[in-house]
Amino acid sequence: MNSVIHFEVPFDDGERATTFYREAFGWALDSMPGYRYTMATTTPTDDQGRPAAPGGINGGMLARTGPITAPVITIGVDSIDEALATVEKLGGKTAIGRQPVGGMGFSAYFHDTEGNLIGLWENA
């Protein structure tokens, strides 16, 4: 079974959004300038940066741009290529194909049969 492992919240004003989530929920927010992305730590992590509590997930924040215009959940998969092939076979559509993310892994996005944008993550 592939699990939800990450979320993304788009923003129009990064400073306003990070202030809001930091103050409203106590999230630790760390900007990744080279990626124009802010990591959101919402639950304690282990020494590898993974959530320490079962069921906990962390996420990120990024500028609202098409197709990422609403919050997105991300599903961890063994192979993005295989997952996208299955998505397409079942009536979904690839929105952003497999792309490298530093040396950490690969991401992709698809629209499900209901029009929702969903992320995929494959570890490097």
pLDDT tens across the length of the chain (124 residues): 899 999 999 999 999 999 999 999 999 999 998 888 999 999 999 998 889 999 999 999 999 999 999 999 999 999 999 999 999 999 999 999 999 998 999 999 999 999 999 999 999 9
Q: Which pLDDT score is estimated for 86?
A: 98
* pLDDT reported for residue 49: 85
Are the C-beta atoms of 29 and 60 separated by less than 8 Å? Answer: no
Element (H, E) at 7: strand 4-11
pTM score above 0.75: yes
Cα gap 100→122, rounded to integer Å: 9
Is the CATH number of domain 77-124 3.10.180.10?
Answer: yes
The residue ranges of every structural domain in the chain are 1-64, 77-124
Same fold, 1-64 and 77-124: yes
Topology annotation, domain 1-64: 2,3-Dihydroxybiphenyl 1,2-Dioxygenase; domain 1 (3.10.180)
Residue 87: helix, strand or coil by DSSP? helix
